Amino acid sequence: DGGITQSPKYLFRKEGQNVTLSCEQNLNHDAMYWYRQDPGQGLRLIYYSQIVNDFQKGDIAEGYSVSREKKESFPLTVTSAQKNPTAFYLCASRQEVSTDTQYFGPGTRLTVL
């Protein structure tokens, strides 16, 4: 919805492997976010970026890394250091310095076997 794409929708990886989830937006939004959602739970903030080449840790950043080399793209790497990586990952964006709404991508469901 709203011009944010995440791929793939489902992803399976073996334990110990790093995996990168993509997030692309064509809304010209300044800010982008990554959330993790576990079954029956709310959304927990992993990382966010308010401007290109800058990003901040959220509440559960350990075991994850991000980059923001382009305004449109904010990939998330789930590293082998993340103890329980199996979850639903949601990317979002919104225009910064305002109270604009957040637009979410469709999410990637990661399963680590």
Interface residues with another protein (CB under 8 A) are 1, 31, 33, 35, 40-43, 45, 48, 58-59, 90, 92, 96-99, 101-107
> Nearest-CA neighbor of 96 among 55, 39, 43?
55
Task: Give the nearer residue to another protein in terms of CB position, either 79 or 102.
Answer: 102
Task: Give the nearer residue to another protein in terms of CB position, either 33 or 64.
Answer: 33
Q: Please report how close the Cβ of residue 89 comes to another protein at its closest, in angstroms.
A: 10
Task: Give the nearer residue to another protein in terms of CB position, either 58 or 63.
Answer: 58
Where are the extended beta strands (E) located within 1-113?
Answer: 4-7, 10-13, 19-25, 31-37, 43-51, 54-57, 64-66, 76-78, 87-94, 103-104, 108-112
